[in-house]
Structure 1
Amino acid sequence: MQALPRRLHTISLLSLPPKHVNRIQIPSPTWLHNDLARSFHTTGRLRALELAFDYHENGGKAQGAPIVFLHGLFGSKKNNRSISKALARDLSRPVYAVDLRNHGDSPHDKTHNYIALAEDVENFLQQHKLKNVTLIGHSMGAKTVMTMALRDPGCCSNIIAVDNAPVDAALASDFPRYVEGMRKIEDAKVKSQREADAILEPYAKDLPVRQFLLTNLIRTAPNEPLKFRIPVRTLAHSLDDMADFPFNNPDEVHFSKPALFVRGIKSHYVSDETLPIIGRFFPRFELVDINSGHWVVSESPEEFRKGMLQPNPVYILKWFTLRLNILICSSRC
């Protein structure tokens, strides 16, 4: 099997109409057809929660199709404020930056898995009557938008999945350590951010990561200890669910609309080995690499923005090579 190209640039899913997204069409092999697709709406829907959100519309100038932006684990809508404003300005499209359940200002619930997260956001789209949506998600949010697209391809026009893949894969060992440190902070009943940071430092060596995690600390009343607004214990018990993916057979279900996968080249979440399975679930996928770790949007916001918005003429030939390699691997694996 030929080596898959490591760095690619992409034609933007955001700035081009759907018929222009992929300029090279490769016939889909038989395993991409959806004859055996099962329905995920016929039984046992979970209780959808009403999600908090920020709305960015560039002073009323953003009138195009909406974008819905989902954060990652331990994040919130505030993490995506700057990039949401930039997209609303650059694309004249309104952006809804959403807090997923158990995060930010959204309600808490003991159930925290991708089906529950997907149903919450599906309910959000229905409540706000959003059509022709682009779904963008980072990490946990990426698996959520992938789940939504595979459950109901009609829910959106396209998706952008940032640094995650549609596979069962263990979370980085950092995340259980973060949870342990956050639980230590809760148990200590700290009164200041400085105290919290000192407790968290052995569990999260990088200052930006600690600052990110500690944005979840709030004071509910004067002179009361700080507490996390996220349910740390619920999320701790859900780490295995966050590593899983609710679909495991691309012969049964796929999303045939455009899908952009953005990965950090210093991150391990979207390895070259995952590209064939991405191609089977999302046969029209495109790929762009960003010089960052897992926290792509915050580490390299300008490169992330340009990677989505700027076409690159050399992309088409590289994309064809990638697609050919994926088809060869899929037929042999």
Structure 2
Amino acid sequence: MSLHRTELGESGQRVVFCHGLFGQGKNWTQAAKALSADHRVLLLDMPNHGRSPWTQRFDYLELADLVAAELGEEPVALVGHSMGGKIAMCLALRHPHLVERLAVVDVAPVRYESGREFVGYIETMRALDLGSLERRDQADEALREVVPSPTVRSFLLQNLRRTDDGWHWQLNLDLLAEHMDELVGWPGDELGDASYDGPVLWIGGARSDYISDERAVEMDRRFPRNRRVLVKDAGHWVHSEQPEVFLEVLRRFLA
């Protein structure tokens, strides 16, 4: 299986981005362009997302191995948000020789209580009558009641594509809905006592509770050389809510 990729920059350290649930590699384009003068940047579509192939199941260890296969043998700086952050953490724990340093955006190596909000999005997207659509703004209007935020609707609708035979979701919605428990989970038992000794930076949103103090015990156990930065006026989507601050924090870590 080969993942869809976009590469920017011709010299410097390699930086690889792993996007979150419902996302695509292109979500990181702004940061990638800013870094590409001094770094070689790789944007990957995670399996079951964007233009990458679909898998038969959702398993963080399997997904981490698929991403690892895209990296070659040169150690990289790995950046992952939310679901992509868990994939990146698993990759660092399973293939530490491939990761020179790791930046995790607003997620911890723990199981979260519920994915009800995500399930609601998926159910709404699956219920959309794609056969009756003539224009994209009709899909936007159909999602408005369940997804009132125009920013979130726009984010979800970037996964809607039109081909010669009509409209389609690029996401593997059926698999994501079926495996939501695994998606919000964490494969701690399968990872055993694995830890990663390279430098790790957590970038969290001050308005988010994804990397709260009670989750720091597992963060420290798995990644002992870590430090944490909370970005003011940002929630879970730190890199899109405060892009300039996020980029400055990431630049300093990469340096």
Same fold (TM over 0.5): yes
Structure 2 residue aligned with 1:276 = 217
- Residue 98 of structure 1 corresponds to 44
SS at match of 1:199: helix
Out of 146, 160, 169, the position equivalent to 2:103 is 160
Check whether the contact 1:168–1:243 (CA below 8 A) recurs between aligned residues. Answer: yes
User: Between the two proteins, what is the percent identity of the paired residues?
Assistant: 35
Cα distance between partner residues in 1 of 2:17 and 2:69? 15
Query: Under a length normalisation based on structure 1, what TM-score does the superposition of the two structures give?
Result: 0.72
Structure 2 counterparts to residues 83-162 of structure 1, below 5 A: 83-89=31-37, 92-125=38-71, 129-162=72-105
Cα deviation for residue 80 of structure 1 reads: 0.6
Q: Note the C-alpha offset of 1:241.
A: 1.1
Q: Which amino acid aligns with 1:66?
A: R
Match of 2:6 among 36, 54, 75: 54
SS in 2 for 1:262: strand
Post-superposition offset of 1:137? 0.5
1:1-333 to structure 2, matched below 5 A, reads: 49-57=1-9, 60=10, 63-89=11-37, 92-125=38-71, 129-186=72-129, 189-221=132-164, 224-248=165-189, 252-291=193-232, 292-310=234-252
CA shift digits 1:262-298 (9 cap, x unpaired)? 1111122111111121011100011111131111111
In the alignment, the residues of structure 2 paired with residue 137 and residue 189 of structure 1 have an alpha-carbon distance, to the nearest angstrom, of 36
In structure 2, distance between residues paired with 1:296 and 1:171: 21
1:220 CA drift (Å):
1.2
Q: Do the aligned partners of residues 279 and 250 (structure 1) sit closer, same or farther apart at CA in structure 2, a change above 3 Å counting?
A: farther
- Please say if residues 131 and 167 of structure 2, whose CA atoms lie closer than 8 Å, have aligned partners that are also in contact: no
Superposed displacement of residue 103, structure 1: 0.8
Question: So what's the TM-score if we normalise by structure 2?
Answer: 0.93
How many residues matched?
252
Say whether the 8 Å CA contact 1:66–1:96 is kept in structure 2: yes
How far apart are 1:170 and its partner, in Å?
2.8
Measured after TM superposition, the shift of residue 191 of structure 1 is 2.4
Task: Give yes or no for contact 1:65–1:131 (8 Å, CA) kept in 2.
Answer: no
C-alpha distance in structure 2 between counterparts of 1:174 and 1:117, whole Å: 23
Q: CA deviation at 1:179?
A: 0.5
Which structure dedicates a bigger proportion of its chain to strand?
A: 2
1:174–1:204 contact (8 Å) kept in structure 2: no
Q: Quote the residue 1:24 is aligned against.
A: none
In structure 2, distance between residues paired with 1:113 and 1:69 = 19
Deviation by residue 1:218-267 (Cα, 9 ceiling, x = unmatched): 1111xx54221112111111211111111249872211111111111112
Deviation >6 Å, runs of 4+: none
AA partner of residue 235 (structure 1): L
Unaligned 5+ residue runs, structure 1?
Answer: 1-48, 312-333
In structure 2, the CA distance between the partners of 1:289 and 1:195, relative to structure 1 (3 Å rule), is: same
**CA distance in 2: counterparts of 1:166 and 1:144, whole angstroms:** 10
- Verify the 8 A CA contact 2:160 2:167 in the aligned structure 1: yes
Distance, in Å, in 1 between the alignment partners of 2:199 and 2:222 is: 11
Question: Is the 2:3–2:45 Cα contact (8 Å) retained in structure 1?
Answer: yes
How far residue 310 of structure 1 moved from its aligned partner, in angstroms, is 4.0
Question: What is the identity, as a one-letter code, of the residue corresponding to 2:151?
Answer: P
